[in-house]
């Protein structure tokens, strides 16, 4: 039978065209970020429209793309062999936009338009860096409306214990940026041993013992002759209260300690050691307890009585040291030191009270592992009074002073602090 109905033929042709058209459209499966991380792109754009760049990337990579009409802006880029996901991160973040995957469509919107229902929640287990520190670094990457909380959960394995976990709820692009950041900062930190030597040295008029730090921070020892021609050896008196930081090599520290021992007027007051992680503050405190007399005088029935009691006064030298290990075993030390001391006494001879002073200094110096950081110039004067008298005659009231000899001497002391960091091998 010959079919001549023109409407029948028109319907057949239309159906055929629809079938052919449908077959020519690629069938897109659901996407995930891993699919985009498996593709790399290389391109350079000079002051190009973000929308045009996104369309070009979608066309080259057979992606379905939906862009909000409020996404606009220009960008200049030069990317070489980066993942498609990273390229989308960079492009969208440059215009305060975000992208996420809905089924098989890449959706791009301004950050403020991202629906909270499109947020995802991810847990980041931290092995080395404290969760509070990671949170402080990661929070600036979060858009408004995101949430970040610190959780603890029972650890696995024989040791048990608790792991620190960071729970983050935000859109996928921000989650991926935070994931890369945490991978970068959550790394094993080297252990650093910090040794501190606190040396008290008596300084006499005929000898000046101290050290000077020229502009290059080399150590200089006073009244020290050196035939080797080592740079920086010389003499300069240290004025009281003039704190000086300096960097010292192992040889210079040994030379200084030998000189102090030979001089005979020096004491190693304390030699504490503490171990801490890189970029973690260590605290060292050396305290001396001094009993201070308290005199309470009262009268009862015409009789004057004194009650003597003692109170403890702590005089403290404290150091807060934060080491940061860099390349080539260089260690940057952030040091804050506070020195308390008794500078004299006041009040009647039978009830004197101590006068205390507190000095502090903060500095940041870079040294090699094993080198020392020295602090000098913590000088003070101590007044010594001596009374010599003839037996019996010197004790007679009123006239006994004629048979006494009074002398006063002033002793100057310098407190030297040496801080030596060492990296502990695994």
Give residue-wise pLDDT tens across range 23-56: 333 444 567 777 888 888 898 889 889 999 999 9
Q: CB-hemisphere CA count at 13 Å for 278?
A: 21
**8 A C-beta contact, residue 305 and residue 299:** yes
Question: How would you classify the pairing of strands 372-389 and 404-424?
Answer: antiparallel
- Annotated domain spans of the chain: 32-113, 117-185, 193-424
pLDDT of 381 above 80? no
For residue 236, what pLDDT is reported?
A: 37
- Residues 32-113, CATH architecture: 3-Layer(bab) Sandwich (3.55)
The pLDDT tens digits of the residues spanning 194-205 come to 998 888 777 654
Residue 213 sits at the vertex; the CA angle it makes with 209 and 216, to the nearest 5 degrees, is 155
Cα dihedral 329, 332, 333, 334 in deg (nearest 10): -160
How do residues 257-293 score in pLDDT, each as one tens digit? 666 656 656 777 788 899 988 888 899 888 888 888 7
Report the run of H or E that residue 53 belongs to, with start and end.
Answer: helix 50-60
pLDDT band, residue 360 (cuts 50/70/90): confident
Beta bridge partners of 121: 169
Nearest to 270 by CA among 196, 373, 337, 359: 196
The pLDDT value given to residue 107: 86
Average pLDDT value for the chain:
73
pLDDT of residue 30: 66
pLDDT at 203: 63
Lookup: tokens for 285: 């405190």
Which one is predicted more confidently, 318 or 163?
Answer: 318
Q: What are 124-176's pLDDT values in tens digits? A: 888 888 888 889 888 888 877 788 888 865 444 443 344 688 889 887 778 88
Packing angle, helices 84-93 and 172-185, rounded to 10:
110
Query: CATH 1.10.10.10: does it fit domain 117-185?
Result: no
Query: Which residues are paired to 362 by β-bridges?
Result: 336
SS3 95: coil
Average pLDDT over residues 363-373: 84
Which residue matches tokens 């252990």? 191
Q: Band of the pLDDT at 193, cuts 50, 70, 90?
A: very high
Query: pTM higher than 0.85 for the full model?
Result: no
| Segment 168-191 mean pLDDT | 85
Q: Please report the pLDDT score of residue 156 as a whole number.
A: 45
Distance in angstroms between the alpha carbons of the first and the last residue of the chain: 92
């Amino acid at each position: 039978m010959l079919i001549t109905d023109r409407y029948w033929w028109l319907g057949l042709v239309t159906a055929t065209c629809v079938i052919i058209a449908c077959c020519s459209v690629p069938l897109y499966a659901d996407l995930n970020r891993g699919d985009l991380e498996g593709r790399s792109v290389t391109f350079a754009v000079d002051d190009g429209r973000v929308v045009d760049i996104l369309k070009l990337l979608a066309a080259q990579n057979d992606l379905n793309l939906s862009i909000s009409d409020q996404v606009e802006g220009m960008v200049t880029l030069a990317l070489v062999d980066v993942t498609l996901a990273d390229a989308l991160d960079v492009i969208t973040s440059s215009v305060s936009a975000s992208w996420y995957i809905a089924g098989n469509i890449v959706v791009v919107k301004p950050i403020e338009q991202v629906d909270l229902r499109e947020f995802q929640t991810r847990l980041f287990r931290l092995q080395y860096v404290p969760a509070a520190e990671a949170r402080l670094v990661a929070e600036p990457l979060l858009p408004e409306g995101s949430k970040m909380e610190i959780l603890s959960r029972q650890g696995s394995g024989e040791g048990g214990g608790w792991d620190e976990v960071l729970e983050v709820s935000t859109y996928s692009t921000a989650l991926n940026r935070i994931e890369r950041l945490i991978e970068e900062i959550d790394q094993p930190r080297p252990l650093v041993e910090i040794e501190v030597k606190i040396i008290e040295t008596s300084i006499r008029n005929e000898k000046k013992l101290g050290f000077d730090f020229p502009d290059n921070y080399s150590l200089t020892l006073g009244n020290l002759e050196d035939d080797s021609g080592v740079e920086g050896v010389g003499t300069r008196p240290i004025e009281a209260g003039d704190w000086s930081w300096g960097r010292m090599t192992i040889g210079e520290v040994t030379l200084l300690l030998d000189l102090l021992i030979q001089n005979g007027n020096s004491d190693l007051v304390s030699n504490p050691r503490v171990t801490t992680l890189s970029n973690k503050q260590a605290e060292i405190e050396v305290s001396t307890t001094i009993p201070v007399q308290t005199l309470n005088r009262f009268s009862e029935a015409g009789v004057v009585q004194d009650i003597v009691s003692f109170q403890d006064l702590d005089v403290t030298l404290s150091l807060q040291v934060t080491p940061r290990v860099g390349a080539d075993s260089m260690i940057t030390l952030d040091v804050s030191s506070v020195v308390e001391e008794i500078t004299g006494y006041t009040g009647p001879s039978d009830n004197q009270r101590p006068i205390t002073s507190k000095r502090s200094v903060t500095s940041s110096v870079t040294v090699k592992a094993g080198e020392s950081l020295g602090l000098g110039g913590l000088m003070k004067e101590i007044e010594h009074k001596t009374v010599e008298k003839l037996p019996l005659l010197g004790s007679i009231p009123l006239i006994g002073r004629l048979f006494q000899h009074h002398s006063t001497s002033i002793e100057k002391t310098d407190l030297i602090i040496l801080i030596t960091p060492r990296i502990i091998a695994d």
